[in-house]
Amino acid sequence: MKLIAGLGNPGKEYENTRHNSGFCVMDAIAKELHVDITQKKFKSLICMTRIQGEQVVLMKPQTYMNNSGEAIIEAVKFYHIDVKDILIIYDDLDLPVGKIRLREKGSAGGQNGMKNIIAHLHTQEFKRIRVGIGKDSRVPVIDWVLGKIRKEDREDYEKAIALAKDAAIYSATHTFMDTMSHFNVK
């Protein structure tokens, strides 16, 4: 069994903000697979589905970004999911809008949701897809991540969401090395 989780903040006020990029990817995955991520479990909205025969838990933690690890660890323990079968999708200030980056492991890179997941799992050895949201040095970081995508960035952002969706679905039935070689493009 695999776990694909997209990070974000619950509530109308956070919809379509940069920090909810993980939720946006999860919504795109659900649409592609014709499922709904609506079951309330593990402090999250989840959906059990299959991708080409592979059983997958799709998850949108409802703990707010900085406490995402609480939800992830509950699902991991309940379903006995191996850390190598976890994929986390989240926003990244250090990637330009429209870019995604896949990694097999690594640090949180300053992303508080990832810091919390690493703390709860006691490892950095899980897969991730980072969705670029860029940054603007004139705007405080908190205002930037909680802000909406600018009109001039919308097309590139939507391409990145679609690419991250495709990468996540592909990763369910392929090695992550193969997935990275297909989707980590310059």
What are the catalytic residues? 19
Positive or negative: CA dihedral 37, 158, 153, 6: positive
Residues 154-186 as b or e (16 or more Cβ within 10 Å = b): eebbeebbebbbbbbbbbbeeebeebbeebeee
Closest by CA position to 83, among listed 118, 58, 53 = 118
What is the spatial distance between Cα 109 and Cα 56, in angstroms, rounded to a whole number?
27
Give all strands (DSSP E) within the chain, no chain letters: 2-6, 39-41, 44-51, 54-61, 86-92, 100-103, 127-132
Distance from CA of residue 67 to its chain's centroid? 14
Are 31 and 49 within 8 A, CB to CB? no
